[in-house]
A and B are shown apart, each in its own frame.
Chain A
C-alpha cells in the first residue's frame, strides 16, 4: 500500500472543509489547484480529469489512510444513516446545537437520536457536558468511537449507546452497546432548541390559540405553556418540528457518496447539490 506523509494527509483533508467548499461553489478552484501542484502534478496533464475526479481520488486516499471527522461522518452516513433516511420520513442534521453543545449528527424520525463522533484525533474533554446536554433533549444518544478507544469511553454515561468504528473490518461500524431509550425530555432543553416560530406553532396547535404576548414576553409565556404539556406529546411535537425545519436532505445512496457529508453540513437541497457537482465537473487547469 502506498505510504503518505501525515502532513500531506492533513493538507488533503482541508479540501473537504467548509471554506474550500464555499470557494469552489463560487467557481474558485485555487485551493484544489494548490494540492494538485504540490502532490499530484501529473493530473494537470490528464485532459479528461475534472476537479470532481480529483476530489474522489483524494477522498479514497483519506479513507484508507486518515480517518478524520469528515471521513468518519461521511462513512457513517453512507453505511448506516442513509438507509434509515431513505426508508422513513426522516430528517438529518450535521452540527446540531443542543444547549451548550453542538452534536455531530442528529436524526429525527419516529424518535430523536443524536450521534457524537470522537476520532483518534479528538479529546474527551467536553464529552461529559455534551452527553448531559444530549440526554435532556434526545431519546437515544450514541457515541461513535474507534475500537481502540473503548476503554476510555465505555465509562461515560451508561445510557449512551456505543458504536465502534474499525476501518479495517468489512462492516466499518458495529454496535458495542445499545442506547437506553430516554422517553422523558426536558421542556426547557427543547425550548432552547426550538426557533420562535416553532415554539409558537406548537403552542398554537396544542392549546388551540396563542395567548396575548409581545416579542419580549413570548419566550417565557410559551415556555410555561410547554411545561404543562404531557411529556410524550411534547416529544412528538418536537420531533415533528425538527422534521419540518429547513429543506429536504439532499443525499444519495448511489452517486458521489464522497460528498454526502458536505451536502449535509452545508444544508444543501437537491438543486444546490446538482450545482456543486456540475461546478466540480470542470476540467482541472493549472
Chain B
C-alpha cells in the first residue's frame, strides 16, 4: 500500500479527490493528510467524495506546519463530527504522550497512525507506552535506515510499519531545475513488501519543506515521474526557458508544457493527469500554478498506484 503524505492545501486535496472519483486510489493508496489551516471546507469536500467511493485517508490531528500547528483538538472535534471509517486519526509523536493518550480517551479513537521521527530513542519509555497502545495500529518512520534500532523495535510490536522517505530534491530557484537531468526517484514500491513494510510513503513529487508564502516564480516547472523498463520510478523536471523576469507566467507554462507533452508522447506515457496537461496545452490555456502542482501530484500517485494494482 502507498501512503502519500500531503499537506491539506486546496490543490493537494483536489488531486486526491479527483483520483478517488476516478477510482484510481482504492485498494492501493491511502493518503496521509496534514491540515495546514483551521478551515475545514476543503477537507469536507474531499470527505464527501471519499465516503461515496469507499476511500480512506489519515488526517493528522496535531500538524507540525501551517496555521493550525500544535497539539490541539480542533481536527479531532472535526473528525468526531463525521461518519466513522473514512477519515482515520493520525498523530505526530514528539514527546507528547499525555496529549495523545488524553485524545484517544476523550474521542474514543482507534486504528490510529503514529508518525515517528527518526531521532527517537528506543529507550524512550513514554514513546514505548504510546506505541504499545491497542488503539495505535500503524506507524510511519522517517528514513528507517537512519534509526535501525527504532525500526527493529517497531517491527517487534507486530503492528503495521510504513517507511516515509523524503525523495524530492528542492532547488533554491525553479530555474535551477533546467540543469538537472532526468534522475532516479524511487524504488520503494519494488522492495517495501520484501523489506517487511506494510507500505511506503513519500511527499509525492513535492518538497517536504512547507512554506505558506509564495511569490511569482521566474521559471515554471512541471515535475513528472514515470516508470522505466525496470519499473524504477524516475523523475523529469520540464522547465521553462524564458526565465529572465517574473512576467508572462502563461508563456512559461506553455514552454514547460510543450517539453512535457513532447516527452510523454514520444515515450507513450499517459494517464488522466497527463491527459489533463495535454488539454491545457492544446487549448493554449494556462490553468494556474495550483493546477500545475495538482497534475504533478496526480501523475505520481497514478504511476505508483498503477504499479501496485498490476503487480
Which residues of A line the B interface, CB within 8 A?
97, 99-100, 191-194, 196, 214-220
- CB nearest to B67 among chain A residues: A26
List of B residues within 8 angstroms of A217 by Cβ? 284
List of B residues within 8 angstroms of A100 by Cβ? 244-245
Which residues of B line the A interface, CB within 8 A?
244-248, 250-251, 253-254, 283-286
A196 to B250, CA, bound (A): 9
- CB nearest to B250 among chain A residues: A215
Interface secondary structure of B, over-half rule: loop
Asked if B251 and A214 sit within 8 Å, CB to CB, the answer is no
Asked if B247 and A192 sit within 8 Å, CB to CB, the answer is yes
Give 6 CB contacts A-B under 8 Å: A99-B245, A192-B247, A214-B285, A216-B250, A219-B248, A219-B250
A214 to B286, CA, bound (A): 9
Asked if A219 and B251 sit within 8 Å, CB to CB, the answer is yes
List of B residues within 8 angstroms of A97 by Cβ? 246
List of A residues within 8 angstroms of B245 by Cβ? 99-100, 192
Asked if A215 and B286 sit within 8 Å, CB to CB, the answer is yes
Q: A100-B244, A192-B246, A214-B284 are in contact. List 5 more A-B contacts (CB 8 A).
A: A215-B250, A215-B284, A218-B250, A219-B250, A219-B251
List of A residues within 8 angstroms of B254 by Cβ? 216
List of A residues within 8 angstroms of B248 by Cβ? 219
Which of B246, B247, B251 makes the CB contact (< 8 A) with A216? B251
Expressed in whole angstroms, the minimum distance between the Cβ of B254 and any Cβ of chain A is 4
List of B residues within 8 angstroms of A215 by Cβ? 250, 284-286
List of A residues within 8 angstroms of B285 by Cβ? 214-216
List of B residues within 8 angstroms of A220 by Cβ? 251
**Looking at B247, B253, B284, which has the most chain A CB atoms within 10 Å of its CB?**
B247
A255 to B1, CA, bound (A): 61
Expressed in whole angstroms, the minimum distance between the Cβ of B38 and any Cβ of chain A is 11
List of B residues within 8 angstroms of A191 by Cβ? 247
Expressed in whole angstroms, the minimum distance between the Cβ of A189 and any Cβ of chain B is 9
Expressed in whole angstroms, the minimum distance between the Cβ of B18 and any Cβ of chain A is 22
Expressed in whole angstroms, the minimum distance between the Cβ of A195 and any Cβ of chain B is 9
Asked if A219 and B247 sit within 8 Å, CB to CB, the answer is yes
- CB nearest to A193 among chain B residues: B247
